[in-house]
Amino acid sequence: MLTAIILAGGESSRLRPLGDKSLQRFMGQSLLARHLRLLAGAGLREMVIVTGASNDADIRAECALLGLNATIRFVNQPEPLGMGDAAARALTAVAPDAAVYLTQAHDLLAPVFHHAALVQATAQPDAIFIAARQTTAYFPGGYLIPATTGQDESSPFPIRGIIEKPGPGNEPSAWVTLVAHVIPHAGAMLAALAAASDGDPGDRYERALTVLMHAHPTFALPHQQSTASLKYPWHMLDIMDVLLGDISEPVIHPTVQIAEGASIRGKVIVAENVRLFPGAAIIGPAYIGPGTILGNHALVRDSMTGARCIIGYSTEVARSWLGDDVWFHTNYVGDSVIDSNVSFGSGTVTGNLRLDEGIIKMRVKGERIATGRNKLGQVIGSGTRVGINASLMPGIVIGRDAFVGPSILLGEDVPDGKRVTVRQQLDWADNTVQRRPEDRDAFRGKLS
């Protein structure tokens, strides 16, 4: 039986101001919890989880609540030295002759794929299997070098190597690796990682795996279902879209209160104790977390909310991910990622489309990166407050525990813990125009 290795360390620095990648929650559970449940459902009973210095305690606490029918061991990676270092630490906790299934908690793979990988590993116990997906645009990841031409998109095909981040135009194929690898001999992979330790830590794992390929038949295992991986903040929306697309039929908890004139349409999951006031609407696909309230004439579509959110009067939430305890009132929220305990004052709106309809860029670790999206609102960290009538420009990042003042046109990022306001100059003069109530009688007559 395979031992599952789950890589869940690292600093998640590219995801800021959001928290740890593995612990981001969708539909009431973290990515880590979903991943572990799928692995256990596929029959894996031995798991090794690699944690980081900043998330070790949280991951252990999360796993303690799951009650899985599996034995879980933890290995800590005290410094973020890359995937190769994390894999080497995990492999030391596995018997040298054991086969392993190495995965990442923040990669979203279809449930059926894990079953398929285990079936292939059982049928060919000496082979390496590497999950792969086809891409039509350059992706900064590992690309497969096929051993033959004319690959069947639905069946495993032989490969002879991996090139990490070859650069646009230099791709050896259209196949990008996903981190779901069946490795038949833990000891051999550990030795290959040790031999590769002197080079660039960024591609240590890929170099070691390529060496191991020379000793074992190696196949790409195509992933045909929708998939997503969490690296940058806007990828939260990619993962949300995949999971919403997996909703097969409406599921409405019996405690949900739907007022007369409110409506729920499409494939939705509405959790317990949700309330819809008159005129409120949910249009699927959507997930509404427990205890959330949709006020009069509020609309949520193609979105996820966490628990206890208040989608107040005349607010629209479209294609957005919300954490817990988010409060809105007369707002428009489009294509945005808004963490827990955030509040918008009335009249605040999120801009999500450039006037030229071009690709929106977002600043990550000081670098402006093209998101690949022409519709993208804001990423807002937990604990932030935004005043009334603020206008937030596309691609803006607002940090944790920040204050954004009223009536501001915000076109710059706001760091954690900062307050930004706009100064206003008032012009005063005597009012010399007098109006009487009957002056409006003509207007009133046109209303009848």
DSSP 420: E
**Is the predicted pLDDT of residue 438 greater than 80, yes or no?**
no
Q: Rounded CA gap, 280 and 328, in Å?
A: 14
Domain 3-231 class, CATH top level: alpha beta
Q: Is the pLDDT of residue 369 over 90?
A: yes
What is the structure's pLDDT at 323? 98
Structure confidence at residue 139 (pLDDT): 80
Looking at residue 300, its pLDDT comes to 99
Bridge partner residues of 7 (DSSP) = 50, 104
- Give the length of the chain: 448
Contacts 24+ apart (CB under 8 A), 350-354: 350/377, 350/378, 350/392, 351/377, 351/391, 351/392, 351/393, 351/394, 352/376, 352/377, 352/394, 353/394, 354/394
Mean pLDDT over 131-138 rounds to: 87
Rounded distance, CA 229 to CA 231, Å? 6
Higher pLDDT, 71 or 200: 71
If you average pLDDT over every residue of the chain, what do you get? 94
* pLDDT for the residue numbered 57: 95
* Gap between the Cα atoms of 208 and 413, Å rounded: 40
Position 202 scores a pLDDT of: 78
Q: Can you tell me which residue has the tokens 């954690």? A: 416
**164 vs 401, higher pLDDT:** 401
One of 1.20.1250.20, 2.160.10.10, 3.40.50.150, 2.30.30.230 is the CATH number of 242-418, namely: 2.160.10.10
Evaluate if residue 151 carries a pLDDT over 80. Answer: no
Please tell me the distance from the alpha carbon of residue 125 to that of residue 143, in angstroms, as a whole number: 24
Rounded-to-integer distance, Cα 251 and Cα 249, Å: 6
Digit-coded pLDDT (tens) for 227-275 = 888 999 999 999 999 999 999 999 999 999 999 999 999 999 999 999 9
pLDDT digits (tens, 9 = 90+) for 96-128: 999 999 999 999 998 889 999 999 999 999 999
Q: What is the mean pLDDT of residues 130-152?
A: 84
204 CA to centre of own chain: 26
pLDDT in tens, 168-221: 889 999 899 999 999 999 999 999 999 988 888 878 998 899 899 999 999 999
d(CA 148, CA 102): 25
- Which string of b and e fits 231-262 if b means at least 16 CB within 10 Å? bbbbbbbbbbbbbbeebeebeeeeebebeeeb
Give the global pTM. Answer: 0.93
Residue 245 and residue 229 in contact, taking contact as beta carbons nearer than 8 Å = no
Q: Identify which has the larger pLDDT, 159 or 292.
A: 292
Q: Which ranges in 283-399 belong to alpha helices (H)?
A: none
Could you give the residue range(s) of every CATH 3.90.550.10 domain in the chain? Answer: 3-231
The pLDDT value recorded for residue 168 is 86
Lowest mean pLDDT, pick from 196-200, 282-286, 291-295, 341-345 = 196-200
- Residue 60 — very low, low, confident or very high, per pLDDT cuts 50/70/90? very high
Can you give the pLDDT at residue 264? 98
pLDDT above 90 for 32: yes
The answer to whether the CB of 9 falls within 8 A of the CB of 105 is no
Q: Where are the beta strands (DSSP E) in 186-276?
A: 218-222, 228-229, 251-252, 257-258, 263-265, 268-270, 275-276
What is the number of helices (H) and of strands (E) in the chain? 8, 39
348 pLDDT exceeds 70? Answer: yes
Q: Return residue ranges of the chain for CATH 2.160.10.10.
A: 242-418
For residue 375, give the DSSP letter. B
- Residue 330 predicted with pLDDT over 90: yes
Which of 35, 25, 113 has the alpha carbon at shortest distance from 70? 35
As a whole number of angstroms, the distance between CA 195 and CA 229 comes to 29
DSSP category for residue 147? S
Average of pLDDT values for 297-325?
99
Q: Please say whether the beta carbons of 104 and 235 come within 8 A.
A: no
Beta-carbon contacts of residue 265 (< 8 Å; ≥ 6 apart): 281, 282, 283, 284
pLDDT at 150 over 80: no
Q: Are 184 and 118 in contact (CB under 8 A)?
A: no
pLDDT for position 448: 66
End-to-end Cα distance, the chain: 79
What does DSSP say about strands 275-276 and 293-294: parallel, antiparallel, or unpaired?
parallel
The dihedrals phi and psi of 8, each to the nearest 5 degrees, come to -135, 20
Q: Is pLDDT at 405 greater than 90 in this prediction?
A: yes
Token match 């009848």: residue?
448
Tokens matching residue 360? 């929106």
For the stretch 339-343, contacts whose Cβ atoms lie closer than 8 Å and that sit 24 or more positions apart, written own/partner, are 339/17, 339/18, 339/19, 339/380, 339/381, 339/382, 339/384, 339/400, 340/306, 340/382, 340/383, 341/382, 341/383, 342/380, 342/381, 342/382, 342/383, 342/384, 342/385, 342/386, 343/384, 343/385, 343/386
